[in-house]
Structure 1
Amino acid sequence: MAKQEFKAESKRLLELMINSIYSQREVFLRELISNASDAMDKMYYRSLTDESLTFNKEDYYIKIIPNKEERTLKIIDTGIGMTKEELETNLGTIAKSGSFAFKNDTEIKDGFDIIGQFGVGFYAAFMVADKVTVISKSIDSEQAYQWESSGTDGFTITPSEKQQVGTEIILKIKENTEDDSFDQFLEEHRLQEIIKKYSDFIRYPIKMDITKKKPKDEDSDEYVDYVEEETINSMIPIWKKNKSELTEEDYINFYQEKRYGFDKPLKSMHVKVDGTIRYNAILFIPENAPFDYYSKEFEKGLELYSNGVLIMDKCADLLPDYFSFVKGLVDSEDLSLNISREMLQHNRQLKVIAKNITKKIKTQLLQLQRDDRENYVKFYEAFGRQLKFGVYNDFGANKETLQDLLMFYSSTEEKLVTLEEYVNRMPEDQKYIYYAAGESIDRIKKLPQTELVADKGYEILYFTEEVDEFAIKMLLKYKDKEFKSVSSGDLGLEEETTDSTDEKEKEENKELFKYMKDQLAGKVTDVRSSKRLKSHPVCLTADGEISLEMEKVLNTMPNNQQIKADKVLEINVNHEVFQALKDAFLNDKNKLNLYTNLLYNQALLIEGLPVNDPVEFTNDICKVMIS
């Protein structure tokens, strides 16, 4: 028979599909297996209306046969087959899909669906094959036919011999090049990997003859090869089983089989939705963060399946960044996919699924927090930072979603607590949610600024991660209670001072503090007496939005602009050091300068801020020691 041209716009379209649509050549096998599955589904539907046919599922399978010597790979199915006209129509026109037309004309039910809807997957075979031969016998024809093509130069259709109804595809695998190894598609183990990755849940058995070894005889150390047919795919995905059939061990095994992590999941979620949009999902909350989780190399996303066929390894659109730690998959029959199956349209269905999944994850995390605090703490220690970044990012757009999931170390409970638990414990006279920021819990406990709040009996939340204070600044308040740093200029705790003695003392110290402020010009914005200090002589606080801890964080970032907090040096006027300051102010300004610099540097060290001139600081200490 004379060669026919493809009924597409141009040869360029086929070249574009082969070279551009699929990012990985291995997906050719996924496409051909999906087509084979479709062919058997069509036979099933025919049997529903044709009384002369019986559908015995055991008779339907897909067989994969590699042949290294001949460099061929066969994909055989026992499906409905194709007539001569169907071969010409379905394979002769790019983007003409018999499955798509069949789906439009058929009511899909009983868990069967047609995977291949767009008629281009078959042509993925040309990514790995120089020549593609299709031998098919239709249930509607006594004669079998052979379709053959070497690519863009067209195709031929000729009569052929085939006894059994079904289709056999023979790929003549390309020779290796410097850039590509095509031999891998003839290797048994590699073919098994591809089948398990993409087509593990195809409902029909995918069979291969696997070469194995056995002892030559009972007492021999020699081994001989033998061939055994095996079913490669598991066929029934866990997410399509009823939850009542599954145990927690089943979910853990699935988590490990899918290599979602080397740990065990803290929480598993099995979601089945049969609404306007149908989908199943298996989601996991890991116990440990991957080694690259907080790096640019980490790639978020859930596996995305369309009716059991893998579409994408990591569909990032299914998870918000703040829940990027979640592992698992989504399988939907209703997603609108474009011509490649691996390039997903950003459509309404996907957004609805993502929104529902986000709600489900939050609900399950709150349940874990409430019912299994020990495991929630494990989760939070691994991924709490990501939740706090989520509060801070996007100008606080997600703060309402995440605020109840946050936890911070409590000064009174000496463990992680939620904001709700903090607020529920607040005394009636407490106006604010107080917090202190520092490098560690031990360092924060020793901060002088915490003394007054602690003496009031108020609980203090300890912020030890660089993102904490930024997140809280974005949160602003929780249940109408504002957050207040123990280092802020106004704690809202100072008692009213109407005593004339206090006023007199304030006036007397006015010139001293002004002198010290001038001495520290450019370093502090003010020097004042402290209402918060009890046993410590000095501390630094901050006026304005930038706190001392935020200054430290911002100045460790690349390309920082040397952002500075408006520092205030607070002096404890009830400490004996203050008397030394007063004496020096009256009698020895050089000594006062020395004391002022020492107190300022001491306050910097308490805060974990760098001393501007360590040599000068140590010299000042020596001067005090020998004076």
Structure 2
Amino acid sequence: MHEFKTESKKLLDLMINSIYTNKEIFLRELISNASDAVDKLNFKSLQDPSIKVGEGDLAIRLSFDKDARTLTVSDNGIGMTADELERNLGTIAHSGSQEFKRENAEHQGDDVDIIGQFGVGFYSAFMVASKVRVVSRAFGEETAHVWESDGLEGYTIEDGERAEHGTDVILTIRENVPGVDGEQGENYDTYLSEWGLKDLVRRFSNYVRYPIQMMVTKSRQKPKPEDAGDDYKPEYEDYQELETLNSMTPIWKKRSSDVTPEEYNEFYKSTFHDWEDPARTFSFHAEGALEYDALLFIPGKAPFDLYSKDYQKGLALYSSNVMIMEKCADLVPDYYNFVRGIVDSADVSLNISRETLQHDRQLHAIANRVEKKITAELQKMRDDDREAYERFFENFGRGLKFGIYQSYGMKADELADLLLFWSAREQKMVTLAEYAKAMPEGQKAVYYAAGDDRDRLSKMPVVHGVLDRGYDVLLCTADVDEFTFQAMRTYTAKDMPKVYADDTAREAAAKAVADGAEPETEDRALELKNVASGDLDLATDDEKKQAEEASKEHEELFQAMKEALGDKVEKVAVSARPMDAPAVITTEGPVSLEMEKVMARGPEAEGAPKSQRVLELNAKHPVFEKLVAAQKAGEKEKLAQYAGLLYDQALLVEGILPEDPVAFAQAVCNLM
């Protein structure tokens, strides 16, 4: 017996117990090795015309024996000599495939597509096998050789027999391990069943370029006997048939013109387990320093768990048609977590187990290109098929908004123009760019109202006040909307009509346009303002003056109302905004009423910041006269009751229940 060296024994133990986290990938590794062996022979035949190897004859074969508990992976590839068995299998982490790739680097990806890199994949077999036997006959040799090991102390190499060139890897599968103390055991019988092997091939090796075949049991109806009577019942028999388990040609490597939409849809539904066709399908191929293929899908509907903590984002990552990761989270940003698809590249730097990636600039380069492609596709959908885009946004728009908030506004340039909001004036969904294009001359901000119901928002006095000025209001009903706007602070509207500093410049520009020049445009930063905030600055000079005069005249009234309301409000003031309501609640500072409500529903509600509320009074409303009269008459109790009623009423308009609904109801009854 050839013993593993001390260092090699430690490394082998590391291979078996530490590097791989998922036992199931052992079959992927063995199939990949078999594919490399077949590829080497195919490549050799292309270089040497005297070697007659038909590519259609090259294949990988799986077989199993339940009674003997053996699983065999066979190929008719180039095979190995005794020296190569010693070097490739007796020396851990020596990769014959990697050596071959270096020697034939200029042909990689052309007529040869070698997968192996590290020389450790073979040893993953010991995760499921108590013994591994390799029978290999090198192409052009008469004698086969047998390598055998239990993965513990060492290995043996001796002469053997094999009818033709190629390699058999025979695994003696471990016995099942029962669970102990409620912990799940190990079911190794899965690797000795048709359905188990089919599933592993489909998941990890479906697109290996050579057929992976296995004898499978099928059922068929026996011929009906000639003398069978009318009461004859059909009889069935089992039979064996050689079946190809993999599809070989990846759909993402075909030209899009050669694939029908129906084929893409079927691939999407079967691969990603969705019942509906995708809303959008797009693919692209990158060449140059980094080569890869990508096939991406935007689902028709959001999965039920999209916004749960258990949802896992990511694209399937393949390397040379072999699946490396089912969900590579680093390939898509969080705000595009709904995108499904596949990226296939032979150039990404894998870690030694090929289960995860090394985080390097290659991966970042692919992720950046994928992100830009998704953004471009969404922009195209928005512009070319608005109805489909609005359906998409209903499903996934919340994530785009959260992407801006989560990045503290840094992603606003990429995502802001993908957002949709309901226009109170247009009565439809609009983009921020469309809102800006429709603004009247002189408007300097984007106005919005935040709440949980569009109809209620449309009836709010603060919304009507802005609409009456001729300015549109965006009605925002998603819980993340206002947080998104707070993170953005401003929106840069592109190609807006230029605003001139004075009449002379404006007249000169108008004359230039009349003479045939193109109208001048500019990018304009528009502040994002909640109509319920106290600093809209929409009042005219006269309105500001009237409010200021009323504030001075009735200073004692406001002070008395503030004392009655206590710390419920920061202050009571006359409103300069036009409105029909007797009073409204506005806020000062960064926290609005709606943000306060959202945070109150969160996990840290107890310590959530509160809004700084202001009770603004309409000095032109008849109710204001009642307040003035009560204050002049010295009816302190009545004034306190009025103040409480106006405050609670304004809260109800905002969709917030009074702190004491019973007291509010009694106050209304007392007033009546």
> TM tier, shorter chain?
over 0.9
- Which residue does 1:377 correspond to in 2? 390
Give 1:495-506 correspondences, 5 Å limit.
495-497=540-542, 504-506=549-551
CA distance in structure 2 between the partners assigned to 1:259 and 1:227 by the alignment: 31
- Which residue does 2:216 correspond to in 1? 210
CA distance in structure 1 between the partners assigned to 2:4 and 2:568 by the alignment: 79
Pairwise CA distance, 1:458: 1.1
Seen in structure 2, the aligned counterparts of structure 1 residues 241 and 498 have a Cα distance that, compared at 3 Å, is: closer
CA distance in structure 2 between the partners assigned to 1:314 and 1:413 by the alignment: 42
SS at match of 1:168: strand
1:414 is aligned, of 422, 427, 439, to 427
CA distance in structure 1 between the partners assigned to 2:34 and 2:130 by the alignment: 21
CA distance in structure 2 between the partners assigned to 1:529 and 1:247 by the alignment: 66
Counterpart of 1:545, as a letter, is P
- Which residue does 2:143 correspond to in 1? 143
Give 1:206-605 correspondences, 5 Å limit.
206-218=212-224, 220-479=233-492, 480-497=525-542, 504-560=549-605, 561-587=607-633, 588-605=635-652
- Which residue does 2:512 correspond to in 1? none
CA distance in structure 1 between the partners assigned to 2:94 and 2:87 by the alignment: 7
TM-score with structure 1 setting the length: 0.97
CA distance in structure 2 between the partners assigned to 1:372 and 1:362 by the alignment: 15
Counterpart of 1:120, as a letter, is V
Identity of aligned residues (%): 49
Pairwise CA distance, 1:511: 1.6
CA distance in structure 1 between the partners assigned to 2:236 and 2:608 by the alignment: 72
Preserved CA contact (<8 Å) 1:605 1:611? yes
Pairwise CA distance, 1:343: 2.2
Preserved CA contact (<8 Å) 1:7 1:94? no
Preserved CA contact (<8 Å) 1:260 1:328? no
Pairwise CA distance, 1:10: 3.8
- Which residue does 2:181 correspond to in 1? none
Preserved CA contact (<8 Å) 2:565 2:640? no
CA distance in structure 2 between the partners assigned to 1:502 and 1:451 by the alignment: 19
Seen in structure 2, the aligned counterparts of structure 1 residues 97 and 577 have a Cα distance that, compared at 3 Å, is: same
Preserved CA contact (<8 Å) 1:546 1:564? yes
Counterpart of 1:58, as a letter, is G
Seen in structure 2, the aligned counterparts of structure 1 residues 598 and 51 have a Cα distance that, compared at 3 Å, is: same
Seen in structure 2, the aligned counterparts of structure 1 residues 446 and 8 have a Cα distance that, compared at 3 Å, is: farther
Pairwise CA distance, 1:8: 6.6
Pairwise CA distance, 1:347: 1.3
CA distance in structure 1 between the partners assigned to 2:351 and 2:446 by the alignment: 51
- Which residue does 1:165 correspond to in 2? 165
Seen in structure 2, the aligned counterparts of structure 1 residues 47 and 612 have a Cα distance that, compared at 3 Å, is: same
Preserved CA contact (<8 Å) 1:6 1:94? no
1:204-247 per-residue CA deviation (whole Å, 9 max, x = no partner) reads: 11111110112233254332211111111000000111111012
- Which residue does 1:12 correspond to in 2? 10
Pairwise CA distance, 1:504: 5.0
Preserved CA contact (<8 Å) 2:449 2:531? yes
CA distance in structure 1 between the partners assigned to 2:219 and 2:658 by the alignment: 72
Which stretch has the larger CA shift, 262-271 or 362-371? 262-271
Which stretch has the larger CA shift, 353-362 or 105-114? 105-114
Q: Which runs of 5+ in 1 are unaligned?
A: none
SS at match of 2:415: helix
Preserved CA contact (<8 Å) 2:408 2:488? no
CA distance in structure 2 between the partners assigned to 1:597 and 1:102 by the alignment: 85
CA distance in structure 2 between the partners assigned to 1:68 and 1:500 by the alignment: 94
Q: Which runs of 5+ in 2 are unaligned?
A: 179-184, 225-231, 493-524
Pairwise CA distance, 1:384: 0.6
Pairwise CA distance, 1:144: 0.6
SS at match of 1:155: strand
CA distance in structure 2 between the partners assigned to 1:421 and 1:100 by the alignment: 56
- Which residue does 1:613 correspond to in 2? 660
SS at match of 2:382: helix
CA distance in structure 1 between the partners assigned to 2:430 and 2:367 by the alignment: 29
CA distance in structure 2 between the partners assigned to 1:267 and 1:8 by the alignment: 56
Preserved CA contact (<8 Å) 2:550 2:619? no
CA distance in structure 2 between the partners assigned to 1:583 and 1:609 by the alignment: 29
1:405-435 per-residue CA deviation (whole Å, 9 max, x = no partner) reads: 1111111121211000000110112121110
Preserved CA contact (<8 Å) 1:8 1:93? no
